[in-house]
């Protein structure tokens, strides 16, 4: 017996992108999108919007590289089976016009939208969806696709999902057991089989060859999606140009084809200062800014600079945290960092309130550990377990560990002649990361801990963490509405569980190294496995609340602050709603029209 969950309700997303052009595709199942609750109005077609990328794209194939730049571009060029309604974050139809789920929650049948075409005119079918899931998403060698490997890991065993293209417009997945967050997880970008087949195992290639698809010197016509924009050109180190997809499948309430824009230009501008200069010069239409930049931008706005500054609470977004490398190359530091007593001592030296006030100008809050406070369904208030800023307590805790200044140079020692000293890696192109790192360095010095700062590009932070080439690091990783969607980050052994890499599988596709886990890590591992199959909503929420309490108690990483969304946008840009976060399945950067 099947229960239809969604047949598609209206949702405008004037900031989103696209619809269907009448004519050769008149039979296509269009989607009308509208967001009156966000104050959006019907727009006018035409114009170019210029935005910014902080770095050059490593390639144009989303699954071939862990890259926020590739993600940003892909969100304009590709679609997923389901997507978020940005007014209430409910799941709504995307490339799947509707879906059905069996009562036992194990069989999902997606009815695909008829008449959708790829950018090169080839019809979109269930064969493309099957190819994407079998050859890419569940391919353990796909560099940015391995998050899928943990979606169906239950009780330490990978439980395969069966994929089936029933016919051209029907795609079915059969699960070994019910998975409450499964539908949320189907916001993967769908890729074109007819173009990428030569890079796949199905096409005779090796599994890792999928990562070679669409290098930056590829012919733009080969990068085809179903999304609102198509790749037009790339000028290395300078500009990525996207043109309107005239055959997109979304319309607004007035029946106007989306996207409104003719073109999006992404200027490649490394460094926050340079980006600000470009925005103030009028070369960028919109810029995400930090709380530290807010006063200056607000002063300019009120003085008639021609742009508005907007802010909104953040469900998504990336709260920064401080992590110590449990498997640091230096075995002495690795032993120190692995001790929860050390991490709790250092948490006492993290002045969250000062960072919120001085770095974010109050436009941030004490974070969850690590669920966003705005996430009422799962958030557990662990502020009573998070240790407050108290340098005397921090110093006393380090004394208890035997880390005292034995040679009178003002720096504690962890062994005779060995100072308590480590390198803190941070993003030096970000004023926010730079200020946080400086505050940490200064406060840690007050308790006799010497910190050497090492600045790198912010876009390289996660890769540096995953490589293990760090001692301590400040990184920002995003929140999601369901903890299951961050399983690769927070379940020990996950592909992004970078601070304790010994728990990760020895080889891609193998099971995590449970033997390397601490007792509390094994419990968190179990929680995520149980949460993956628990169908009782309250029982499932309680599991993830326990996880948050364990995070607060054992501080695998020290959560610092949860910033609000803040952006500046010029007044000629309409329908601006700011949503920060790179999340496959919906566009975090709204698309606008020029008035």
pLDDT band at 511; cut points 50, 70, 90 = confident
DSSP structural state of residue 390: -
Residue 1: per-residue pLDDT: 32
Share of the chain above pLDDT 90, in %: 60
Among 23-37, 424-438, 512-526, which stretch is predicted with the lowest mean pLDDT? 23-37
pLDDT at 15 over 70: no
Q: Would you state the pLDDT for residue 214?
A: 98
pLDDT, tens only, 548-571: 999 999 999 999 998 888 889 898
Q: Where are the beta strands (DSSP E) in 103-188?
A: 107-112, 153-154, 157-158, 162-167, 170-174
Q: Please tell me the predicted confidence (pLDDT) of residue 3.
A: 38
Paired tokens of 177: 């057991």
Of 179-183, 283-287, 335-339, the range with the highest mean pLDDT is 335-339
Per-residue confidence band for 372, with pLDDT thresholds at 50, 70 and 90: confident
Mean pLDDT along residues 328-344: 98
Output 103 or 197, whichever has higher pLDDT: 197
| pLDDT band with cut points at 50, 70 and 90 for residue 487 | confident
Cβ-Cβ contacts under 8 Å for 378 (sequence gap 6 or more): 371, 482, 483, 541, 544, 545
pLDDT score of 363 more than 50 = yes
- Is residue 422 within 8 A of residue 471, CB to CB? The reply is yes
pTM (whole model) above 0.75: no
If you write DSSP's letter for every residue of 459-488 in order, what string do you get? Answer: GGHHHHHHHT--SEEEEE----SSGGGGHH
- Where do runs of H (alpha helix) occur along 91-166? 126-131
Give the chain's length.
595
Residue 157's pLDDT band, with cuts at 50, 70 and 90, is low
Q: Which residue has the higher pLDDT, 252 or 78?
A: 78
Confidence of residue 456 (pLDDT cuts 50, 70, 90): very high
Residue 79 has pLDDT above 50, yes or no: yes
Residue 28's pLDDT band, with cuts at 50, 70 and 90, is low
Helix 537-554 and helix 519-531: axis angle, to 10°?
160
Beta strands at 48-53 and 263-268: parallel, antiparallel or unpaired? parallel
Using omega within 30 degrees of 0 as the cis cutoff, is the peptide bond preceding 259 cis?
yes
- Name, of 83-97, 412-426, 531-545, the range with top average pLDDT: 412-426
Is 581 or 124 the better-scoring residue by pLDDT? 124
Is the pLDDT assigned to residue 82 strictly greater than 60? Answer: yes
Question: What pLDDT is attached to residue 452?
Answer: 98
Question: Band of the pLDDT at 378, cuts 50, 70, 90?
Answer: confident
pLDDT value of position 14: 27
Residue 43's pLDDT band (cuts 50, 70, 90): confident
For 119-136, what is the mean pLDDT?
Answer: 96
Per-residue pLDDT for 478 more than 90?
no
Nearest alpha-carbon partner for 195 in 230, 163, 171, 150: 230
Predicted confidence (pLDDT) at residue 64 exceeds the cutoff of 90: yes
In whole angstroms, give the CA distance from residue 380 to residue 192.
41
> What would the mean pLDDT of 138-149 be, rounded to a whole number?
73
Q: Is the pLDDT of residue 281 over 90?
A: yes
* Helix (H/G/I), strand (E/B), else coil: 88: coil
Secondary structure of 523-589 in HEC code, one letter for each residue: HHHHHHHHHCCCCCHHHHHHHHHHHHHHHHHHCCEEECCEECEEEEEECCECCCCCCCCCCCCCCCC
Q: Note the pLDDT of residue 251.
A: 85
Q: Which residue has the higher pLDDT, 79 or 479?
A: 79
Q: H/E element holding 263?
A: strand 263-268
Interval 475-499 mean pLDDT? 88
Domains, the chain, ranges and CATH?
Answer: 57-226 (3.90.76.10), 320-563 (3.10.105.10)
Q: What is the mean pLDDT of residues 299-320?
A: 86
Q: What is the mean pLDDT of residues 163-192?
A: 91
| pLDDT score, position 152 | 53
Cα–Cα separations (whole angstroms), residue 128 to 79, 124, 161, 192: 12, 7, 17, 6
Q: What is the mean pLDDT of the chain?
A: 86
**Average pLDDT, stretch 315-342?**
94
Secondary structure class of 6 (helix, strand, coil): strand
If DSSP codes are grouped into helix, strand and coil, which group holds residue 298? helix
What is the SS3 assignment for 267? strand
Q: What's the burial of 330, exposed, middle or buried (CB within 10 Å: 0-12/13-18/19+)?
A: middle
Nearest Cα to Cα of residue 124 among 229, 218, 225: 225
pLDDT, tens only, 422-435: 999 999 988 889 99
At residue 301, does pLDDT exceed 80? yes
Give the pLDDT of residue 595. Answer: 33
Q: How confident is the model at residue 38 (pLDDT cuts 50, 70, 90)?
A: low
Give the pLDDT mean for 22-41.
61
Beta strands in 14-95 (DSSP E): 31-32, 48-53, 82-84, 91-93
179-188, 469-478, 482-491 — which one is most confidently predicted on average? 469-478
Distance CA 131, CA 114 (A): 18
């Amino acid at each position: 017996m099947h229960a239809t969950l969604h047949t598609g309700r209206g949702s405008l997303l004037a900031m989103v992108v696209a619809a269907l052009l009448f004519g050769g595709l008149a039979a296509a199942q269009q989607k009308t999108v509208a967001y009156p609750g966000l104050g959006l109005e019907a727009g006018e077609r035409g114009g170019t919007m210029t935005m910014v990328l902080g770095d050059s794209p490593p390639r144009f194939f989303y699954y071939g590289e862990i890259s926020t730049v590739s993600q940003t571009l892909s969100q304009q060029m590709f679609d997923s089976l389901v997507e978020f309604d940005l007014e209430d974050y409910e799941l709504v139809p995307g490339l799947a016009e509707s879906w059905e789920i069996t009562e036992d929650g194990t069989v999902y049948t997606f009815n695909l939208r008829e008449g959708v075409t790829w950018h090169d005119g080839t019809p979109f079918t269930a064969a493309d969806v099957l190819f994407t899931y079998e050859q890419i998403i569940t391919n353990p060698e796909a560099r940015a696709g391995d998050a899928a490997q943990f979606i169906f890991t239950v009780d330490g065993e990978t439980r395969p999902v069966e994929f089936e293209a029933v016919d051209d417009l029907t795609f079915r997945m059969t699960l070994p057991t019910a998975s409450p967050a499964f539908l949320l997880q189907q916001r993967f970008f769908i890729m074109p089989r007819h173009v990428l087949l030569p890079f796949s195992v199905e096409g005779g290639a090796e599994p890792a060859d999928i990562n070679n698809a669409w290098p930056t010197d590829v012919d733009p016509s080969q990068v085809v999606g179903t999304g609102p924009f198509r790749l037009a050109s790339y000028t290395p180190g300078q500009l990525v140009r996207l043109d309107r997809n005239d055959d997109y499948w979304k319309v607004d309430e007035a029946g106007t084809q989306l996207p409104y824009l003719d073109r999006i230009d992404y200027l490649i501008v490394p460094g926050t200062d340079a980006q600000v200069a470009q925005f103030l010069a009028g070369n960028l239409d919109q810029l995400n800014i930090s709380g530290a930049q807010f006063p200056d931008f607000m002063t300019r706005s009120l003085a008639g600079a021609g742009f508005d500054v907007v802010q909104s609470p953040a469900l998504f977004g990336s709260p920064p945290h401080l992590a110590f490398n449990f498997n640091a190359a230096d075995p002495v530091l690795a032993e120190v960092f692995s001790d929860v007593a050390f991490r709790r001592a250092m948490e006492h030296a993290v002045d969250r309130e000062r960072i919120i006030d001085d770095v974010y100008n109050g436009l941030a809050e004490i974070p969850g550990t690590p669920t966003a406070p705005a996430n009422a369904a799962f958030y557990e208030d662990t502020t009573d377990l998070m240790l407050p800023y108290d340098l005397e307590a921090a110093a006393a805790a380090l004394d208890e560990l035997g880390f005292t200044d034995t040679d009178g140079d003002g720096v504690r020692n962890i062994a005779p002649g060995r100072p308590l000293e480590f390198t803190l890696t941070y993003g030096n192109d970000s004023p926010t990361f730079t200020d946080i790192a400086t505050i940490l360095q200064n406060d840690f010095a007050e308790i006799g801990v010497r910190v050497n700062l090492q600045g790198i590009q912010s876009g390289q932070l996660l890769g540096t963490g995953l490589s293990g080439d760090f001692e301590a690091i400040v990184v920002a990783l995003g929140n999601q509405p369901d903890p299951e969607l961050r399983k690769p980050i927070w379940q020990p052994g996950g592909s992004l569980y970078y601070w304790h890499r010994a728990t990760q599988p020895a080889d891609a596709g193998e099971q995590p190294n449970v033997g390397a886990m601490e007792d509390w890590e094994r419990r968190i591992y179990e929680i995520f496995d149980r949460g993956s199959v628990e169908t009782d909503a309250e029982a499932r929420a309680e599991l993830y609340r326990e996880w948050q309490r364990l995070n607060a108690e054992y501080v695998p990483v020290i959560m610092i602050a949860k910033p609000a969304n803040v952006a500046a946008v010029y007044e000629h840009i309409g329908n601006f709603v700011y949503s920060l976060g790179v999340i496959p399945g919906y566009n975090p950067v709204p698309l606008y029209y020029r008035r």
